[in-house]
């Protein structure tokens, strides 16, 4: 087993202060009504946009997001249980949708630029 696979938790990538704020905003707007879902998605979309320039592969961004999400839920004193699990699962799903959606849009714009179309 290589020492690379034994990285400590302190070595894991973390979110910036701005990204943590966006995550906290998304978490705090996590009720089930429509306006909260929209504001939650917008906060996560902004978080993904700030991650766009990251050299991390999307899979690593997801791991980083999940760790930060659990930390934020703990800091917000969200009680453990089905409601917390549902909220965190929904936020991870939204993160994946937004992260890959932004990357697909970016790639399409780059392809158009290479072809000389707009």
Q: Mean pLDDT, consecutive 10-residue segments, the chain of 118 residues?
A: 45 74 79 70 84 79 91 90 93 90 66 67
CA 34 to chain centre: 20
Indicate the number of domains in the chain: 1
* Length of the chain measured in residues: 118
Which of 63, 65, 61 lies closest to 27 in space, CA to CA? Answer: 65
Please give the pLDDT value at position 118. Answer: 53
Does residue 62 fall inside a structural domain? Answer: yes
Does residue 6 fall inside a structural domain? Answer: no
Residues of the domain holding 62 = 16-115
How far apart (Å, rounded) are the C-alpha atoms in residues 24 and 64? 14
Please give the pLDDT value at position 106. Answer: 61
CA atoms within 13 A on the CB side of 27: 22
Q: What is the DSSP letter of 81?
A: S
Please give the pLDDT value at position 6. Answer: 45
Please give the pLDDT value at position 10. Answer: 45
pTM value is: 0.70
Does residue 97 fall inside a structural domain? Answer: yes
Tokens of 85: 């699990």
């Amino acid at each position: 087993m290589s020492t690379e696979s034994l990285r400590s938790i302190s070595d894991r990538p973390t979110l910036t202060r701005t990204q943590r704020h966006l995550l906290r905003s998304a978490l705090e707007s996590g009720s089930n009504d429509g306006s909260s879902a929209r504001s939650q998605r917008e906060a996560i979309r902004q978080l993904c946009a700030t991650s766009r320039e990251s050299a991390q592969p999307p899979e690593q961004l997801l791991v980083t997001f999940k760790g930060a999400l659990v930390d934020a839920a703990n800091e917000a004193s969200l009680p453990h249980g089905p409601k917390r699990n549902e909220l965190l699962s929904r936020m991870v799903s939204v993160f994946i949708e937004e992260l890959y959606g932004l990357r697909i849009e970016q790639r399409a714009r780059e392809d158009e630029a290479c072809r000389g179309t707009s």
